[in-house]
Amino acid sequence: MKKIELEIINITQGFTQHHSYAVVLGEVKGKRRLPIVIGAAEAQAIAVAIENMPPVRPLTHDLFKSVMDTFAITLNEVMITNLMDGVFYSKLVCMFNGNEQEIDSRTSDAVALAIRFGCPIYIYSDILDASGILLVEEQHEGMYEEVASASSQKEEKTKTDYAIYTNKELEKLLDEALINEDYEKSSEY
């Protein structure tokens, strides 16, 4: 199966549940986005690592990294391996004593560790095809349009979730709306 590298685009608070968050992963050499729902503690663990804010005492993921470092276990990559019933499954691909070991992990924990180890995050192409959101740039206006991929690939999304866009993409959308004097639209960004 083909592996696709992902990067962290954003962490956003969920709209439907008060204490839910989503980490938005994006294709490194593409426009697809993968939102993954995570809890508040997992969002904090990811955000702390992204912002490079060392806590006063080690968080669980920091402790886990310290233990791995102490025993010369390296995390080579994180692999998102499956999607079942709306839940993503991941593996930590580690090296220990010259042998590759795969360890089952929640995706949120795997992402938090990937940041701490500076290792890549991958997903199998069929999973991204089934669950990703494709951002398509329109030729004439330079605006972005969301299109769901895979099973609903032909249907356009009607509700816009701006959290899946990078700051640069949002700035471009805002500039276009202001140029076109679409002030109602610009207030959404």
Question: Residues 165, 26: contact at Cβ < 8 Å?
Answer: no
Model confidence at 10: pLDDT above 50: yes
**pTM assigned to the model:** 0.71
Per-residue model confidence as pLDDT tens digits over 77-118: 999 999 999 899 999 999 999 999 999 999 999 999 999 999
Last residue of a domain, one of 130, 153, 171: 130
Quote the domain boundaries for residue 111: 3-130
Q: Are residues 105 and 145 in the same domain?
A: no
Q: Are residues 91 and 18 in the same domain?
A: yes
Per-residue model confidence as pLDDT tens digits over 125-161: 999 999 998 876 544 444 444 444 433 333 333 334 5
Q: Are residues 104 and 148 in the same domain?
A: no
User: Helices 60-70 and 40-50, interaxial angle, to 10°?
Assistant: 60
- Domain count for the chain: 2
Q: Are residues 154 and 109 in the same domain?
A: no
Q: Are residues 7 and 54 in the same domain?
A: yes
Dump the DSSP string for 13-42. E-SSSTTEEEEEEEETTSSEEEEEEEEHHH
